[in-house]
Amino acid sequence: MFLRQTSGLDQCILGDPAGKGEGRKPSARREVVGVDRPLVWATADGSRVTGMSDATTPREVPPSPGEPPRIHVTLSTASVYPRKAQYAFEAAADLGYDGVEVMVWSDETTQDAAALRRLSAEHDVPIRSIHAPTLLVSQRVWGRSPGPKLRRSVELAQEVGASTVVVHPPFRWQYRYAREFEDLVGELDETEGVTIAVENMYPWRSRKREMQAYLPGWDPSEHGYEHVTLDLSHAAVAQQDALALLDVFDGRLAHVHLADGSSSITDEHLVPGRGDQPCDKVLTELVQRGWTGDVVVEISTRRARTAAERREDLAASLFFARTYLTPGPHPGYSPPPGPPHRHVDAWGEAEAREIAAAEDAAGSTGTG
């Protein structure tokens, strides 16, 4: 294992959230529970996936009648940045995640369906969702026109067997795209067999001013999207009550990005439990409501000092999620303390945000 000692954290990674010593092997070594093709594996949380061959992506088998709804815990490839997607698949398999969300950005593997299918098959880790390249740092991925990029993200999801595409609302300077955004999302959601989940964002703040950087707005509750993604780090920056957002989004909530924040002006994506967001209460409430979407660990490890520290943060996040997604009473959990806390932007977008804001004020930002 990647931790220094055997603990409840190890037991959760081995499929034993209650810490009773009844765990399974990590899902990287999934146990074969069926011998006829398609092969069927048991994952760390007891769910099952199948794979038809080395060339296909493992896919989930529906739960048996009478089984309670399951919430899958997956790993965003962004969580290992600046490491590349291959590392995320390796970590997801080794630590026992239920799948991967692929953040499409400059890493060419994240843009290549064939390469992603190979990684998925090699590590027996399904790709459950795709994050469209709609961050500031990915504006030039697949060109500058945002509408076609969203359509291409949907095509990628279809090619790798992912059921959800996460997308940010348009930037303010993408005004043509913004005018058609809600209709485009609705069209793709209805016709392509993939859930398009629009993510909650936040106003850009500095010490001097606040900028409304998104059109038609950063808060999806104010618009008619069929499906939304709740990102707890973004809620922290927006100074919103993440627990209250469960009621606000209600039946439209399709997807969750699990990360903590400290209500600063910086989008931090901390390990859950290291900020001031009610991450534990949100997860517990999802279970109580019988919610069945995916919880995606989307933390920042770019300031990890060693490979072991990065792995421990990924493991602690998985343990946190599995602890509070386990039905019934369970002991509280706080992750091991990380390095001394600094307000650091998760993906290194702070500088890009300042440049974009200045260009927007000068009227020189791209029009997309």
Higher-confidence residue of 29 and 184: namely 184
pLDDT at 1: 30
Q: How many whole angstroms separate alpha carbon 146 and alpha carbon 152?
A: 10
From the list 271, 343, 341, 344, the residue with the least C-alpha distance to 310 is: 271
Residue 299 and residue 320 in contact, taking contact as beta carbons nearer than 8 Å: no
Distances (CA, A) of 255 to 59, 250, 258, 292: 18, 12, 10, 9
DSSP strands (E only) in the chain: 31-34, 39-42, 48-51, 59-60, 72-76, 100-103, 127-131, 164-167, 195-199, 204-205, 210-211, 227-231, 253-258, 294-297
Note the pLDDT of residue 205: 79
pTM for the predicted model, two decimal places? 0.79
Q: Tell which wins on pLDDT, 207 or 76.
A: 76
For 184-215, write each residue's pLDDT tens digit: 999 999 999 999 999 999 998 776 677 889 99
All domains of the chain in start order, with CATH? 69-362 (3.20.20.150)
Of 11-15, 63-67, 257-261, highest mean pLDDT: 257-261
pLDDT reported for residue 42: 33
Query: Residue 110's pLDDT is what?
Result: 98
Candidate ranges 2-11, 113-122, 169-178; pick with highest mean pLDDT:
113-122
Mean pLDDT to the nearest integer, 109-127: 98
Please give the average per-residue pLDDT across 131-159, as a whole number.
Answer: 94
> What is the C-alpha separation between 98 and 73, in angstroms, rounded?
6
Angle at 288 between CA 277 and CA 322, to 5 degrees: 60
Strand 39-42 to strand 48-51: parallel, antiparallel, or no bridges (unpaired)? antiparallel
Integer CA distances (angstroms), 227 to 75, 104, 284, 352, 353, in order: 20, 20, 21, 28, 27
pLDDT at 31: 29
Question: Cα(314)–Cα(291) distance, rounded to whole angstroms?
Answer: 24
Length of the chain: 368
Q: Is the model more confident about 160 or about 47? A: 160
Which run of H or E residues covers position 279? helix 279-288
**Residues 112-122, mean pLDDT to the nearest whole number:** 98
Per DSSP, the three-state class of 81 is: coil
Flag the least confident range among 39-43, 174-178, 230-234, 257-261: 39-43
Alpha-carbon distance of 167 to 177, in angstroms, equals: 13
